[in-house]
C-alpha cells in the first residue's frame, strides 16, 4: 500500500474508533442505500449528548480508478454555539490531490474553538495552498486548511496528525457550548452551511468519475451528505 493511502486509512480507522468510543452509532433513514457490500462505498453515522450527527463517508476506488476519498463531518446540536467539524480528502497512490479541514462557524463567529483552530493552522507550512471558491468563502472560517499536491511525508503527517489533534480538541470542548444558541438560529445556520456545501460542483463530479451512478450521487449529496433540518 502507498504511504499516502496507508496514512489515510489509518486516519479513517481513528475517526471510527473515536466515534465508537464516545457516541452511539445509528441507522439513518435512507443512508443504507449508499453502503456497498464490497466496501467500495461506506457511510456511518453517530450521535451523542455532545453532538447531533457525526458522519464518516469513504469511497474506495483504489483498484478501479486509483483514487480514495473521505468526508468527515460533525454537526453540533442546534442549541450549541460551537462550530461544525469538517475534513475532506481525495488521494491517489502518490499524493493527496486535495485536503480540506475546518471548524466552520455556526451562531458564534468568535467561538474560542474557532480561534484555537486558526492559531493552529497558522503554524503550518504548505507548498501549495488552494484558493477557495465563493461558495466556500461563505461558510468556512478564515483559518481553514485548504491544500493540494500533498506528497511529501512531513506534509502527509501534518494533515493526518492535525486531523486527529483537532478531532480530540473538538470532542473535548463541543459539549461545553450546548445551550448557548437559540434552536431556531442554530438550525438556520446549519441549513445555511448545508446549502452552500451543496453548491460545490467538485464533490459530485469526482464521485461520478470514480464510477458511482449519477442519480445516486445527486440523491446522496442532497439528502445524506448534507441533510437539511
pLDDT band at 129; cut points 50, 70, 90: low
- 3-class secondary-structure state, position 87: strand
Angle in degrees, 0-180, between the axes of helices 153-173 and 3-22, rounded to the nearest 10: 10
Answer yes or no: pTM beyond 0.85.
yes
Asked whether the predicted pLDDT for residue 61 surpasses 90, the reply is yes
Question: What pLDDT, on a 0 to 100 scale, did the predictor assign at position 106?
Answer: 98
For 166-199, how does the pLDDT look when each residue is reduced to its tens digit (9 = 90+)?
Answer: 999 999 999 999 999 999 999 999 999 999 999 9
For 15-51, how does the pLDDT look when each residue is reduced to its tens digit (9 = 90+)?
Answer: 999 999 999 999 999 999 999 999 999 999 999 999 9
Asked whether the predicted pLDDT for residue 222 surpasses 70, the reply is yes
* Residues 89, 73 contacting (CB under 8 angstroms): no
The percent of residues above 90 in pLDDT, for the chain, comes to 87
For 64-86, how does the pLDDT look when each residue is reduced to its tens digit (9 = 90+)?
Answer: 999 999 999 999 999 999 999 99
Which residues constitute the domain of residue 150?
3-225
Count of CA atoms in the C-beta half-sphere (13 A) of 67: 16
Q: What Å distances lie between residue 128 and 7, 99, 113, 221, CA to CA?
A: 20, 11, 26, 28
Q: Which of 126-130, 178-182, 204-208, 220-224 has the highest mean pLDDT?
A: 178-182
Asked whether the predicted pLDDT for residue 131 surpasses 90, the reply is no
Question: In terms of residues, how long is the chain?
Answer: 229
Name residues whose C-beta falls within 8 Å of residue 32's C-beta, 6 or more positions apart in sequence: none
Question: What pLDDT, on a 0 to 100 scale, did the predictor assign at position 127?
Answer: 65
Alpha carbon distance 183, 77 (integer Å): 8
Identify the residue with better confidence: 40 or 127: 40
* Residues 193, 106 contacting (CB under 8 angstroms): yes
Question: What pLDDT, on a 0 to 100 scale, did the predictor assign at position 133?
Answer: 87
Q: How many domains does the chain have?
A: 1
Question: What pLDDT, on a 0 to 100 scale, did the predictor assign at position 26?
Answer: 97
Name residues whose C-beta falls within 8 Å of residue 12's C-beta, 6 or more positions apart in sequence: 56, 58, 70
**Mean of per-residue pLDDT scores for the chain:** 94
CATH number at residue 143: 3.40.1500.20
* Residues 76, 89 contacting (CB under 8 angstroms): no
The percent of residues above 70 in pLDDT, for the chain, comes to 98
Amino acid at each position: 500500500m502507498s504511504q499516502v493511502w496507508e496514512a489515510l486509512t489509518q486516519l479513517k480507522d481513528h475517526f471510527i474508533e473515536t466515534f465508537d468510543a464516545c457516541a452511539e452509532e445509528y441507522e439513518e433513514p435512507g443512508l443504507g442505500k449508499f453502503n456497498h457490500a464490497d466496501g467500495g462505498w461506506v457511510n456511518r453515522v453517530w450521535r451523542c449528548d455532545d453532538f447531533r450527527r457525526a458522519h464518516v463517508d469513504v469511497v474506495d476506488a483504489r483498484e478501479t480508478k486509483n483514487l480514495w476519498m473521505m468526508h468527515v463531518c460533525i454537526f453540533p446540536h442546534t442549541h450549541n454555539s460551537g462550530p461544525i467539524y469538517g475534513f475532506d480528502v481525495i488521494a491517489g497512490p502518490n499524493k493527496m490531490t486535495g485536503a480540506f479541514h475546518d471548524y466552520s462557524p455556526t451562531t458564534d463567529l468568535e467561538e474560542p474553538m474557532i480561534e484555537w483552530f486558526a492559531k493552529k493552522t497558522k503554524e503550518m507550512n504548505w507548498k501549495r495552498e488552494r484558493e477557495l471558491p465563493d461558495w466556500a468563502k461563505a461558510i468556512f472560517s478564515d483559518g481553514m486548511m485548504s491544500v493540494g499536491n500533498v506528497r511529501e511525508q512531513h506534509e502527509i503527517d501534518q494533515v493526518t496528525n492535525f486531523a486527529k489533534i483537532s478531532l480530540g480538541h473538538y470532542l473535548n470542548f463541543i459539549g461545553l457550548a450546548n445551550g448557548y444558541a437559540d434552536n431556531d438560529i442554530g438550525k438556520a445556520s446549519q441549513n445555511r452551511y448545508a446549502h452552500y456545501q451543496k453548491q460545490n460542483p467538485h464533490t459530485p463530479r469526482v464521485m461520478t468519475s470514480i464510477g458511482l451512478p449519477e442519480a445516486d450521487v445527486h440523491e446522496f449529496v442532497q439528502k445524506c451528505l448534507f441533510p437539511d433540518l
